[in-house]
């Protein structure tokens, strides 16, 4: 019978950070199960850890180390903006879940951008009536990206000013009303919901503001490393966010919820898993004990949606995975009457603040991000 270790024991035997342990679990290299004494915690298979520790002690080639760093591996870019630490999301030394209890997105931007005053995201007055939504966000940001000057040689304050202007373009394109109020209130007015909903929107935006080196942030940093303008870098982040395995996961949760409403939660989950698709809205490689962003948002707004309640219970029973931020955004959207695409729009607006922070940090570093490919194709014949 296999021996199972606590997280602390596993970390001690491997001598790694929690993120690395979770990466090994996500890649199937270490078995994990819920702790029978406390289902909120996890246990890790001791045999897998022993085998992995032995392989680590023998060393790996530089190419293997570099390849593993790209996907949930060891940290590969130095940043002072955010990290995941002992199951908590940290923004420049502050717990993001605690920050979301009171901060606005503008105040969070000041923290992440290392600026003395809250940011201002003023939506420009359109020359013609806009069709609000995702397509408009891409179109308006692309137009600005084609006009802005490159970022090289400029001060952090100048770059932040351009980033704030570009985020203002996103704000207007996604339907926030005009004015100088904090963004969450302007979004609530634009989406025709009340002040009580505005506070839930505020929490979601703060919790989404950054998440260390996720795919869209990495894309924004790559663009920044070439000297592209802040708007162009934000465009790179937005394009990457649109993928179904990133910011598009919220839409998948909405589809799953609609399927559960028609066929029942257990049947919907069976159908989804039967098509060999990961269950959207549940589990996260960095948070095997549960996504603290989802915990914070759900604690604030509750879950009165019967379909999503049954879906949560059935998903935990079937997979052992707990709700993540995508599920919490679906609860927010369905329960509070937000536009159907609100999960993506909130993700884009909140995360744009983090993209901007990483853009400035990358430009100030002076480095270009240019990894090498490990070629696995044909080569021309050589003369002998």
Q: Is 155 helix (H, G, I), strand (E, B) or coil?
A: coil
Distance CA 51, CA 31 (A): 12
Catalytic residue check, 210: no
DSSP code of residue 282: B
* CA-derived radius of gyration, the chain: 22
Please list the ranges in the chain whose pLDDT falls under 70: 1-2, 56-75, 126-130, 383-384
Can you give the pLDDT at residue 19?
A: 80
Q: Which of 184, 211, 284, 358 is flagged as catalytic? A: 284
Catalytic residue check, 326: yes
Strand bridging mode 32-35 / 4-5:
unpaired
Q: Is 85 helix (H, G, I), strand (E, B) or coil?
A: strand
Can you give the pLDDT at residue 67?
A: 62
Q: DSSP labels for 270-323?
A: HHHHHTT-PPTTB--TT-TT--HHHHHHHHHH----HHHHHHHHHHHHHH-PPB
Q: How many CB atoms lie within 10 A of CB 172?
A: 24
**How far does the chain reach from its first CA to its final CA, in angstroms?**
57
Report how far Cα 10 is from the mean position of its chain's Cα atoms: 26
Distance CA 118, CA 180 (A): 12
Can you give the pLDDT at residue 17?
A: 85
Can you give the pLDDT at residue 1?
A: 43
pTM, two decimals, is 0.83
What residues have CB less than 8 Å from 126, skipping those under 6 apart? Answer: 172
Q: Which of 48, 162, 291, 326 is flagged as catalytic? A: 326
Give residue-wise pLDDT tens across range 22-68: 888 877 788 888 887 777 788 888 888 888 887 766 566 666 666 66
Can you give the pLDDT at residue 47?
A: 81
């Amino acid at each position: 019978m296999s021996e199972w270790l606590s997280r602390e024991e596993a970390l001690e035997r491997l001598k790694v950070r929690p993120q690395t342990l979770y990466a090994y679990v996500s890649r199937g290299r270490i078995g994990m199960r819920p702790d029978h004494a406390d289902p909120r915690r996890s246990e890790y298979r001791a045999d897998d850890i022993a085998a992995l520790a032995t392989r680590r002690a023998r060393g790996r080639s530089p190419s293997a180390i570099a390849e593993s760093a790209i996907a949930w591996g060891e940290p590969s870019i130095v940043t002072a903006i955010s990290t995941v630490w002992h199951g908590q999301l940290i923004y420049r030394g502050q717990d993001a879940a605690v920050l979301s209890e009171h901060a606005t997105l503008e105040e969070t931007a000041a923290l992440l951008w290392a600026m003395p005053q809250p940011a201002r995201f003023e939506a420009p007055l359109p020359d013609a009536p806009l069709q609000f939504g995702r397509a408009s966000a891409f179109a308006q940001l692309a137009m600005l990206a084609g006009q802005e000057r490159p970022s090289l040689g400029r001060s952090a304050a100048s770059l932040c000013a351009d980033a704030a202007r570009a985020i203002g373009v996103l704000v207007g394109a996604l339907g926030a009303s005009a004015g100088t109020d904090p963004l969450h209130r302007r979004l609530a007015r634009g989406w025709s919901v009340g002040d009580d909903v505005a506070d839930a929107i505020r929490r979601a935006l703060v919790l989404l503001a950054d998440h260390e080196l996720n795919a869209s942030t990495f894309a924004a940093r790559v663009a920044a490393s070439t000297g592209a303008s802040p708007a162009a870098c934000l465009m790179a982040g937005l394009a990457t966010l649109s993928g179904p395995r990133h910011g598009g996961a919220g839409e998948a949760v909405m589809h799953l919820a609609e399927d559960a409403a028609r066929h029942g939660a257990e049947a919907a989950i069976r159908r989804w898993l039967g098509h060999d698709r990961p269950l959207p809205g549940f589990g996260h490689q960095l948070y095997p004990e549960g996504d603290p962003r989802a915990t914070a948002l759900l604690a604030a707004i509750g879950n009165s949606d019967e379909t999503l309640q049954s879906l949560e219970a059935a998903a935990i029973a079937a997979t052992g995975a707990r709700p993540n931020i995508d599920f919490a955004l679906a609860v927010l959207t369905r329960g509070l009457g937000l536009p159907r695409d609100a999960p993506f729009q909130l993700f884009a607006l909140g995360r744009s603040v983090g993209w901007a922070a990483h853009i400035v940090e990358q430009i100030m570093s002076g480095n270009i991000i240019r990894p090498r490919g490990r070629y696995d194709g044909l080569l021309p014949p050589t003369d002998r």
